[in-house]
Amino acid sequence: MSFLLEGLIKAIHLLLDMDPETYSAVWTTLQVSSGSMAASLLAGIPLGFFLGYHDFRGKRQVRIVVDTLLALPTVFVGLLVYAFLSRQGPLGSMGLLFTVPGIAIGQTILALPIVVALTATAVEGLDRQLQFTLVSLGADRLQLLTGTLWEARFAILAAALTAYGRVMTEVGISMMVGGNIKWHTRTITTAIALETGKGQFGMGIALGLILLAIAFAVNLSVSFLRKRA
DSSP label at 176? I
Q: How far is CA 180 from the centre of its chain?
A: 18
- Min dist CB 75 to other proteins, Å, is 12
Q: Which of 11, 97, 159, 161 is the binder for other proteins (CB under 8 A)?
A: 97
Site map (CB under 8 A) of other proteins, residues 100-139, x = contact: xx--x-----------------------------------
Q: Which of 68, 133, 221, 223 is the binder for other proteins (CB under 8 A)?
A: 221
- SS3 for 17? coil
CA distance 14 to 11: 5
- Smaller CB distance to other proteins: residue 80 or 139? 80
Four-point Cα dihedral 108, 114, 117, 120, nearest 10: -80
Say how many Å lie between the first and final Cα of the chain, rounded.
45
Based on the shown chain and the rule CB under 8 A, indicate whether residue 227 belongs to the binding site for other proteins: yes
- Smaller CB distance to other proteins: residue 162 or 196? 196
HSE-CB for 206 with a 13 A CA cutoff = 24
Stretch 68-87 residues interacting with other proteins (CB under 8 A): 86-87
Site map (CB under 8 A) of other proteins, residues 28-57, x = contact: --xxx-xx-xx-------------------
CB neighbours of 50 closer than 8 A, spacing ≥ 6? none
In contact, 117 and 59? CB cutoff 8 Å: no
| Residues near other proteins (CB under 8 A) | 30-32, 34-35, 37-38, 86-88, 92-93, 95, 97-101, 104, 179-184, 196-200, 221, 224-225, 227, 229
